[in-house]
Structure 1
Amino acid sequence: MARVVRIFKTLRNHWKKSTAGFCLLAYGSHWIYGKHCDNLLRRAACEEAQVFENHQILPHSAIKKATVFLNLAACKGKAMTLFEKNAAPILHLAGIDITLVKTDYEGQAKNLLELMEKTDLIIVAGGDGTLQEVITGLLRREGQVPLSKIPIAFIPLEGTNTLSHTLYPERENKVQQITEAALSILKGETVALDILQIKGEQDQPVFAVQGIRWGSYRDASLKSSNLSPWQQPRYLLEPVNSQHPRTLDSMSICTEPDAISKGQFIQLGVEKMTDPLLPPGDSQVLLASRCSLHLPQGTEGHFSIDSEEYEAMSVDVTLLPRKLHFLCHPTRKQELLQRPTATGHC
């Protein structure tokens, strides 16, 4: 009993050190518990993958070889570790032969696609930029008709991946998000998504699966230092992944007002933090399968095409209906099929 009293006296006399020690102990316990939960998720996913291989129940048994495009810079340089620990074991256990293509700099994936050998599946492991590069390189390549039939799997490694919200359920745990994406490859459920072809006057076309944005809200989302609520109107184009019903193959073209008050700008900006596609009440919306965006001469700024930055210029945007097939989570496919066919915005 006397020993216990001495311990309490010591803790009371050194309460600052004791508090710091308890905080470190609590943080360490939480960290260890999180690692333990991650290991349980990995083990469960590997066991499920082993079932697919042992019982030979792969719904797309023709898939024997997959080409993986891995962005080494994704997730602050941790992409390789995340892929090797959470996704690669699942694919290996399912008997899929993987060819790993590592990208080190912007634009490399487009060039490497020109050298890609025959494959049954393309896997993109990274963020929005890597996916946009692969799609652009794929559709630019000569003889693209057979290539566009190859299913594409997206393994989200970045913190913010817009397409992952369409293909997979929302998950806060990164390990669970990656393992579920890898298991979705084995389950073989695919969904056809529309693609936007964006072409300038001289450049080769760029292809997007999520859309193109331009204007003040786009700048604000990138934390631009030069921000004014009275800049040019915002334009947003998207293909299929919004929730607005349509009857024909089309994108919706949304233009926001030329000028709004500072209060309106801030209020709508706060609302867009929850729903980035939310248009103001006085915006104009049109439906079209093709759009030409002509910018005044001397216009400065940048577009965001699938969250990647491009110099703003006059462009022609064409909708390519159901151009590419993406592997997705079975529940998300059911939701997409039950939802009215969607459109995009400009």
Structure 2
Amino acid sequence: MGRVVKVLRTLRNHWKKSSFAACVLSYGGYWIYGKHCDSVLRREACQEAREFGRALIGPQEPLKRATVILNPAASNGKANSLFEKNAAPILHLAGVEIKIVKTDYEGQAKKLMDFMEQTDMLIVAGGDGTLQEVVTGLLRRNDEEAFSKTPIGFIPLGAHNSLCQSLHLATDNTVRRITSATLSILKGETVPLDILQIKSEKEQPVFAVMSIRWGSFRDVAESISKYWYLGPLKTRAAHWFSTLKEWPQTRQASLSYLPPVPRPPEMPTEKPQRPNLLHRIYIRLQNYWNPPVEEPPVEPEPEIWEEKHLSTLELTISTQNKNPVKNRTDDSMVLSVEPDTLTVGQFITEGIKKAENPLESTEHTLQIEASACRVNLPEEGAGFYNIDNEAFEAMPVEVRLLPRKLRFFCSAERREELAQGN
């Protein structure tokens, strides 16, 4: 008992050192426990992947091949380590023959897609920028019709992973997010996603999976990192300082658009059974003696564009990939025109929300569904676009929706969760 009293008296006399030691030990224990939980998640994922590797295949059946486009610079240079620890072991244990292609500089993924050979699956390991480059490079190919049928897996390793919440269950744990995304690739369930084709007069077309943004909220969001020293107040401070430099921050543009188009029925994924030989001979003889009459070509109806002149804080053109399994009668993208009547306080409040979720709209946002649109901007001071969180110089563009153009691997749990919300 005397020894316990002596220890307590020592702790009381040196309370500053004792408090510091308690904080260090608490943080160390929490860190070690977090590492242990991550290790358990990796082990469980590897055990599940091993079951795929144990599945029997035919003697003439080749292994599944996967091409991985990895951006080592994503997540502040941690992407390579995150992939090697959390994703690569799962793919190897599942018996997938993987070919890893690492990018060395921004924009290289677009060029690499020109040399990509046919593969069973394409895996993008990076963030929004890497995914946007891969999709753009893939759809710029001359034989894009054949390659666009290749299913795509997205392993979120970047600072921005906008598509992740549409394909996988939301989680703040990095290891769980990566392992679940990798396992969903092995399970093979896919969903079709719409793509935006963004074309200007000068440049080659750029393709986006989520959105294109232009306006004040986008510009302020790019400057938030400059106020890092303000900690949690940096987002509020960036919006407030921007109003001191310029107010109101309205943008002038001309917008013309086409209405949505009806969604065609989905084609069956399974090939119909081939008719027997007698039936095929009968059909050929019938076509020989009574050839079908060729119908005259139907001229397409002229496109009727509706035009609007905008005065707005921000214009956002987004796909409806936020819920890719929702039943829709039309194929359309959403044009969101933010009002220019916000006060400074409202601008700061809504800007903080948009910094967390760029596709969130304000209360009085005008939303238009369209299949294509043209955006005409002023010649000077147009600023920049954000195309899937990547900056591009703003210029007049035509944006067209490519409905259900690519198929992405999706977790069954997330698909069911989204289907219940319909």
Residue 320 (structure 2) aligns with: 240
Higher Cα radius of gyration: 2
The range that moved more, 18-27 or 318-327, is 18-27
Partner of 1:42, secondary structure, is helix
CA distance in 1, matches of 2:317, 2:62: 36
CA distance in 2, matches of 1:41, 1:142: 42
The question of 1:227 aligning with 2:309 is answered no
1:200 maps to a residue whose letter is S
Residue 110 (structure 2) aligns with: 110
Uncovered stretches (5+) of structure 1, i.e. residues with no partner: 341-346
Determine if contact 1:124/1:152 at 8 Å carries over to the other structure.
yes
The question of 1:310 aligning with 2:400 is answered no
Alpha-carbon distance, 1:15 to partner: 1.2
Partner of 1:114, secondary structure, is helix
Residue 287 (structure 2) aligns with: none
Alpha-carbon distance, 1:63 to partner: 6.7
1:320 maps to a residue whose letter is L
Matches within 5 A, 1:294-333: 294-333=376-415
Query: Deviation string for 1:52-91 (max 9, x for gaps)?
Result: 221349xxx9871101011111111111110011000000
CA distance in 1, matches of 2:66, 2:175: 21
Partner of 2:316, secondary structure, is strand
Partner of 1:99, secondary structure, is strand
Partner of 1:122, secondary structure, is strand
1:136 maps to a residue whose letter is T
1:305 maps to a residue whose letter is I
CA distance in 1, matches of 2:18, 2:400: 65
Residue 48 (structure 1) aligns with: 48
Partner of 2:125, secondary structure, is strand
Determine if contact 1:152/1:325 at 8 Å carries over to the other structure.
yes
Query: Deviation string for 1:169-190 (max 9, x for gaps)?
Result: 0011100000000100111010
Matches within 5 A, 1:1-346: 1-56=1-56, 64-223=64-223, 227-228=242-243, 230-231=248-249, 232=251, 233=312, 234-242=314-322, 246-273=328-355, 275-337=357-419
The range that moved more, 264-273 or 144-153, is 264-273
2:396 maps to a residue whose letter is S
The range that moved more, 19-28 or 227-236, is 227-236
Percentage of matched positions with identical amino acids: 54
- Provide TM-score, normalisation by structure 1: 0.91
2:167 maps to a residue whose letter is L
CA distance in 2, matches of 1:319, 1:62: 36
The 1:186–1:245 alpha-carbon spacing in structure 2 relative to 1, beyond 3 Å, is: closer
Alpha-carbon distance, 1:8 to partner: 1.8
Partner of 2:142, secondary structure, is coil
1:269 maps to a residue whose letter is G
Alignment: residue pair count: 337
Alpha-carbon distance, 1:264 to partner: 2.4
CA distance in 1, matches of 2:373, 2:397: 8
Query: Deviation string for 1:113-143 (max 9, x for gaps)?
Result: 1111221111001100000000000001121
Determine if contact 1:219/1:227 at 8 Å carries over to the other structure.
no
Partner of 2:196, secondary structure, is strand
CA distance in 2, matches of 1:116, 1:274: 35
2:397 maps to a residue whose letter is V
Query: Deviation string for 1:30-68 (max 9, x for gaps)?
Result: 1111101100000000000011221349xxx98711010
Alpha-carbon distance, 1:337 to partner: 4.8
Query: Deviation string for 1:188-214 (max 9, x for gaps)?
Result: 010000000001111000000011011
Q: Give RMSD over aligned pairs.
A: 2.1
The range that moved more, 315-324 or 1-10, is 1-10
Partner of 1:227, secondary structure, is helix
Alpha-carbon distance, 1:269 to partner: 2.5
Alpha-carbon distance, 1:275 to partner: 4.7
Alpha-carbon distance, 1:257 to partner: 2.4
Determine if contact 1:216/1:227 at 8 Å carries over to the other structure.
no
CA distance in 1, matches of 2:160, 2:133: 17
Residue 343 (structure 1) aligns with: none
Alpha-carbon distance, 1:276 to partner: 3.4
The range that moved more, 105-114 or 235-244, is 235-244
Determine if contact 2:376/2:397 at 8 Å carries over to the other structure.
yes
CA distance in 2, matches of 1:301, 1:89: 44
- Provide TM-score, normalisation by structure 2: 0.76
CA distance in 2, matches of 1:236, 1:134: 22
CA distance in 1, matches of 2:337, 2:356: 20
CA distance in 1, matches of 2:163, 2:128: 7
CA distance in 2, matches of 1:271, 1:67: 37
The 1:167–1:242 alpha-carbon spacing in structure 2 relative to 1, beyond 3 Å, is: closer
CA distance in 1, matches of 2:189, 2:62: 14
The range that moved more, 19-28 or 283-292, is 283-292
Determine if contact 1:66/1:98 at 8 Å carries over to the other structure.
yes
